[in-house]
Amino acid sequence: MTMIFLRGAAFAALFFPSFAFAAGTCADLTKPEAHPPQLTITEAKPVAAGPDAPVSYCLVHGELGDHKGVDGKAYAIQFEMRLPDDWNGRFVHQFNGGNDGKVIPATGPLLGGDKTQTALGRGYAVVSSDAGHEEGAAADKGLAGPAAFGLDPVAREDYGYGAVAKLNPPAMALVEQYYDKKIAFRYGIGGSNGGRHGLMAATRLPEQFDGILAGYPGFNLPKAAIQHAWDVQAWTKVDPDIAKAFSQADMAVLAKGILSACDVLDGRVDGLVGDPQACETHFNIASLACKGDKQPDCLSQAQITALKTSHAGPKNSKGKALYSNWDWDPGMASANWRTWKLQSPIPAWGGKPIIAVMGAGSLAQIFTTPPTAIGGTPDDLQKYLLDFDFDRDAPKIFAKSGPFTQSAAEFMIPPGSDNPRLKAFRDAGHKMIVFHGNADPVFSVLDTVKWYRKLDSNNGGKAGNFVKFYRIPGMPHGAGGPSYDDFDFFTPLVAWVEKGEVPGPVSAGISNGNKEAAGLAPGRTLYCPFPQIARYDAKISAASPDKAPFRCE
């Protein structure tokens, strides 16, 4: 009989799959010889499992890529890693959202309505970063401060793609050094700007991620930011105080009208528009117009005009589309949609929505070149959007100037997104799942539909062999709203990457605490890979009461 002797990590991996063999202790990671030289480790300490930690892990903080900006400020990519004691041999790069600027805890949220579901809780090593800047570094600029890093070209590039490109290799090397074992599979997870990071990684770093989960991706973020100015200018034609342009009751009228025209199109009246493409021809917003004076159950002509203008998307004076058109969905009446588009509950913002504060600061300082000096009060920021000229200012997202040798379109938009192929990602055998809410107020789901259709065409109708796309009825910007928000796209992604199990319909329910979903039919629904939609099937309902009564077609 042949005797085989295994030692250390090899022995542990064979006989104890969940065993984590460490090259040293957690605290040892602060020693220069215990981590890749690109990284400066400022802290490494063990954290016990408890109410705020589903597992015990080694918490690591550090930085890399420090430099002095042309604006005289100090920059670096600050990061956090969480290395579970019971490691499953896999790695997740957590792509964060918004303007970044702070290190979100490296738990690896899985983007569904159940916030307790994380990659860390499933045994993944996770890294998270601030994308190369601190949001409080320009506090003197008021509400414009979090986007003021846009005054430095390197910080811009790090925000766009550089931080992931610089951090990912040494972060993976640290994981392997700590556990004394190769990473089996590498994943990227992110929503919103994090979803954009996912598409960017698939394009610029196709060899580094076996699987990517990209939720509601803002891959055309600079173009989408032009919509902020377009909307604010449209809303103020209804009322100078945009919070009063549409009341919550007005948006409920809109949602009721959409449902009345379109809910039944998928075969079941359940509070959702399951066939959005058919809805485009069935719903006419003019049908909601008041016959005379404004009444509670109808919309004024000014409101109808403003919504039609917003829905069509921004254009210049020649009629050229500058971004995308939008979907009609009852999720437009959600609190999330309102917070982004019309009114926030934040006192310091003067009640102005996210597009008029964060959106304005970003468009002025990050997404146009040269960056525009802008005041930091709510009125200053809104004025910038009101003064935005779609002939003069929109081309600045493609401009370069002085030290800004990359345009915003170059550092923010994944190369080739207008004609995507993802050949290197495909040829590497890697996989991606993209999902997007039909009621997203920030990034148009129809822009993602256009991207996927082009990707599919460029791959001979076989994009589904490596990228699956799902539309989520009722969902605004992120899980929630009047939608079945308790879903899990990460598990099918992992099964696809590691076992070759091609994702199909994904079942979804309603998460605890989602009060906006109270009007939906009880039970579960299905999300189908695009271009399929879920159609009601009474036979399934009768045969399996606990099963989502739909089929994909």
Q: What is the pLDDT of residues 484-497, one digit of tens each?
A: 999 999 999 999 99
Range in 11-15, 24-28, 67-71, 300-304 the model is least confident about: 11-15
Residues 6+ apart with CB under 8 A from 348: 143
**SS3 sequence of 250-276:** HHHHHHHHHHHHHHHHHCCCCCCCCCH
Cis peptide before 371 (omega within 30 of 0): no
Q: Which residues pair with 529 in a beta bridge?
A: 470
Q: Which H or E element spans position 47?
A: strand 40-47
**SS3 sequence of 137-184:** CCHHHHHHHHHHHHHCHHHHHHHHHHHHHHHHHHHHHHHHHHHCCCCC
Confidence of residue 3 (pLDDT cuts 50, 70, 90): very low
Q: Which residues pair with 93 in a beta bridge?
A: 127, 188
Residues 6+ apart with CB under 8 A from 286: 304
Quick one: which of 475, 546, 472 has its CA closest to 517? 475
Say if residue 251's pLDDT is above 60.
yes
Mean pLDDT estimate for the chain: 94
How far is Cα 546 from Cα 523, in angstroms, rounded to an integer? 7
**Chain-centroid distance, C-alpha 290:** 37
pLDDT of residue 544: 76
pLDDT per position as a tens digit, 71-80: 999 999 999 9
How far is Cα 364 from Cα 386, in angstroms, rounded to an integer? 12
Angle in degrees, CA 405, 409, 413, rounded to 5: 125
Say whether 192 is catalytic: yes
Among the listed residues 477, 483, 486, 511, the single catalytic one is: 477
Measured CA to CA in angstroms, residue 17 lies from 5, 260, 350, 499 at distances of 17, 54, 54, 17
pLDDT per position as a tens digit, 347-392: 999 999 999 999 999 999 999 999 998 999 999 999 999 999 999 9
**SS3 sequence of 97-121:** CCCCCCCCCCCCECCCCCCCCECHH
Among the listed residues 85, 158, 440, 447, the single catalytic one is: 440
**Contact assessment for residue 112 and residue 493, using Cβ atoms and an 8 Å cutoff:** no
Quick one: which of 126, 130, 9, 122 has its CA closest to 59? 126
How far is Cα 499 from Cα 137, in angstroms, rounded to an integer? 45
How far is Cα 498 from Cα 183, in angstroms, rounded to an integer? 13
Among the listed residues 192, 324, 444, 483, the single catalytic one is: 192
Dihedral angle computed from the Cα positions of residues 219, 235, 363 and 319, in that order, rounded to the nearest 10 degrees: 70
pLDDT of residue 23: 53
pLDDT of residue 540: 87
DSSP state of 192: T
- What is the side-by-side order of every strand in the sheet holding 125-129? 40-47, 57-68, 74-84, 125-129, 90-95, 185-191, 211-215, 431-437, 467-472
Say if residue 4's pLDDT is above 60.
no
Confidence of residue 51 (pLDDT cuts 50, 70, 90): confident
Quick one: which of 246, 243, 220, 235 has its CA closest to 386? 235
Q: Which residues pair with 372 in a beta bridge?
A: none
pLDDT per position as a tens digit, 416-457: 999 999 999 999 999 999 999 999 999 999 999 999 999 999
Helices H, strands E: what count in the chain?
16, 13
168: amino acid identity, one letter: N
Say if residue 264's pLDDT is above 80.
yes
Say if residue 11's pLDDT is above 70.
no
DSSP for 446-513 reads HHHHHHHHHHHHHTTT-GGGTEEEEEETT--SSS-SSS--B--SHHHHHHHHHH------EEEB--TT
Residue 504 CB coordination number (10 Å):
12
**Contact assessment for residue 305 and residue 407, using Cβ atoms and an 8 Å cutoff:** no
How far is Cα 524 from Cα 516, in angstroms, rounded to an integer? 16
Q: What is the mean pLDDT of residues 74-87?
A: 98
DSSP for 53-89 reads BSS-EEEEEEEEEEEE-TTS-EEEEEEEEEEESS--S
How far is Cα 222 from Cα 224, in angstroms, rounded to an integer? 5
